[in-house]
Structure 1
């Protein structure tokens, strides 16, 4: 039994000459006659597949190529051949993206416009999300029994307690760097003792809470977005709405509240550890005893520097919580959106934290806390 692929040009009374394909048109057999088929260039009225006993995608593609090249229809196709031909036709209908031939300045202007539009839309979305969150908070105040205390405690543990090691290590190293580099620069003026002022004020007022906010944005803000985004994809959020549970009350508020409550504590902890790191360097390199360094901190650092850091911390926590939860709730479509929204949550939180820190610096200077 011949299982090969064959073809011939046949004269038929009803349609004239046709290119008749016979046998098995499979990837394993088509190679034998492919070159001969490419040379077919006769006057035929159709490509006939009625004699084809077996066909796969390659065979269907060969038949479609012959039909297109000769400009004739395909007749006699069985069910399998018809399905394969339809799939090949659909694939060929996909048009490549047209090349944008406009001048570069026009494309740049359009891109800027799109970015501005997305930015404005993002602001509207965040404001709307904040409004929905405030409404959910109002509902909790009217019905305290709906408050999920266990969820808040769990988030306090995840955001605060479990962040202590990494925040402490980061702060200790920052204190060492500030003290060491500050001492090198101040030594040029014979003012090494002012290293105490430098470490105390810059950590309590700025770097302690700022670096902690950046760390929490990367650690907890990303976790908020990824967790809620995954729940959106698996339709857990929709299921919560279906059974009458508010996702804002169950998922968003505990996370935002934990970030707001833990940021002042983590910021103060970070500042203290950074001062300890500076004291270690001062003891080893500058000859300033460890306890003397700590005693001098109380004398040279005004109390309002501590209040400046503590006032900024909950605001930074609010920004981190809102950014993480908002971008998590915006996930839709596929798993790629989870990674994209997680990245956007971290970037937007860090950006807003730095912007607000600059605003606070100007504000506190204007009110005499500079």
Structure 2
């Protein structure tokens, strides 16, 4: 394998550049030294002799482009008629690529901290707006799929629905009941401590009843479901997305919305109201236990006060929010699962995002509902 060379004969009229040997990556260092010995750029009247050129690859072509200049490559057909068409095409392709390349400009960091903070806030708000548009679109797609399948019982996924109902409902009963029981006891204890200064400890019963029937029962249950069920939905669908199982479902002619989303949404729609009812009962039991042990209010009197002071409408006001919370939690969990890109890191990131979004939406809707109920006098 002959090492490439480049010699400039300045005594010839006109001057002639003779290129010979192999111009390949193996000889790159020596060829660079040979080019450095030639004064560049070449004179416009310098001719080029490529008749002795041996093997040529992209590394050697880039060196020839630097030696000849990108502007002379178009004239190779005239200046070097004996050059093979493949080598001429390689030189012209490399020359075009090097001529189009531009060194990326370095980003200059602005020193104004206020502008950087405002820019970051703007990017965050833009991302939030984009996320909300996607969520609204996914809600519409879910409702459209539900309307399309509700009248076609053959397309109902009964087995999947029951499996998810057990996972989201039955399996969550212990943690929901235990948490709300303890919160009910804490609310009763704190209420009795404050109301004792006014001689109104008897109203601890009303405090526990109002708080759990209207707010705490459904709100605590929804937050638990956001952390437990939304994350599970995202992890399940995200793992399927990462393993390309959803693409396989589409290849089989099945609808992922109908197969994966609807059973989860319907299961949580059925489970959350029932869990909220159990949470209300558990909270009242916890509050009643503290009243019996600390305030000497027997269970019979506790129940009697609840019946006389708290109407059924307070229970209805609280339980009415459960289906809304359930739908939003399930939709957010499924949407984040579909957004997984294919790695374990993406699954974890979107699982975290689904929990945060679900809790935020639940608290936001609950606050709006509380203001609405207050204005309506309910």
TM over 0.5: yes
1:113 to 92, 114, 122: 122
Name the structure 1 match of 2:355.
346
Q: Distance in 2 between matches of 1:272 and 1:295?
A: 15
Bigger mean CA deviation after superposition, 234-243 or 134-143? 134-143
Specify which of 173, 179, 182 is matched with residue 164 of structure 1: 173
Of the three residues 316, 326, 351, the one matched with 1:307 is 316
Mapped to 1, the partners of 2:359 and 2:210 lie a distance apart of 22
Partner of 1:244 in structure 2?
A: 253
| Selected match of 1:332 from 337, 341, 344 | 341
The equivalences for 1:311-322 within 5 A come to 311-322=320-331
Provide closer, same or farther for how the CA distance between residues 336 and 99 of structure 1 changes in structure 2, counting only shifts above 3 A. Answer: farther
Match of 2:136 among 121, 127, 131: 127
CA deviations on 1:214-259 (whole Å, 9 max, x unpaired) are 0010000110111111110001111101101111111111111111
Q: CA–CA distance in 2 between the matches of 1:236 and 1:158?
A: 21
Q: State the alpha-carbon separation in 2 of the partners of residues 303 and 237 from structure 1.
A: 46
Summarize deviations over 1:258-296 as a string: whole Å, max 9, x none. Answer: 111111111111010010001111111111112321232
5 Å-filtered alignment, 1:272-287, equals 272-287=281-296
Q: Residues of 2 paired with 1:313 and 1:130: CA distance?
A: 17
Cα 1:281/1:103, change in 2 over 3 Å: same
Offset of 1:154 from its aligned partner? 0.8
Matched residues in 2 for 1:307 and 1:126: separation? 28
Task: Measure, in 1, the Cα distance between the counterparts of 2:186 and 2:105.
Answer: 55
1:194 paired to 2:203: yes
Q: Quote the offset at 1:121 in angstroms.
A: 0.9
Q: Aligned pair in 2 of structure 1 residues 96, 163: CA closer, same or farther (>3 Å)?
A: farther
The correspondence for 1:141, drawn from 143, 150, 171, is 150
Aligned to 1:366: 375
Distance 2:201 2:104 in 1: 70
Structure 1: 4+ residue segments shifted above 6 A:
94-97
- 2:150 and 2:157 mapped to 1: Cα distance? 12
CA distance in 2, matches of 1:255, 1:338: 18
Larger Rg over CA atoms? 2
**Where in structure 2 are the equivalents of 1:66-81 lying within 5 Å?**
none
SS in 1 for 2:150: helix
Q: What's the TM-score once normalised by structure 2's chain length?
A: 0.72
Give deviations 1:41-82, integer Å, cap 9, x for gaps. xxxxxxxx98xxxxxxxxxxxx99xx99xx989xxxxxxxxx
Residue number in structure 1 paired with 2:19: none
Deviations 1:323-368 (A, max 9, x none): 1011111111422111111111111111111111111111112222
Structure 2: runs of 5 or more not aligned: 7-24, 38-102
Distance 1:219 1:96 in 2: 47
Contact 2:243 2:342 in 1 (8 A): no
Corresponding residue to 1:267 among 276, 282, 290: 276
Rounded to whole Å, the distance in 2 between the matches of 1:260 and 1:317 is: 5
- The gaps in structure 1 that reach 5 residues or longer are 1-11, 16-48, 51-62, 74-93
Which SS does the other structure have where 2:343 is aligned? coil
How many angstroms apart in 2 are the aligned matches of 1:234 and 1:96?
Answer: 39
1:18-37 matches, within 5 Å, as: none
User: Paired residues, what number?
Assistant: 301
Q: 2:306 aligns with which of 297, 306, 327?
A: 297
| Worse overlay, 354-363 or 134-143 | 134-143
Alpha-carbon spacing, 1:285–1:319, altered in 2? closer, same or farther (3 Å) = same
Shift in CA distance, 97/194, structure 1 to aligned 2, threshold 3 Å = farther
Distance in 2 between residues matched to 1:158 and 1:116, nearest whole Å: 35
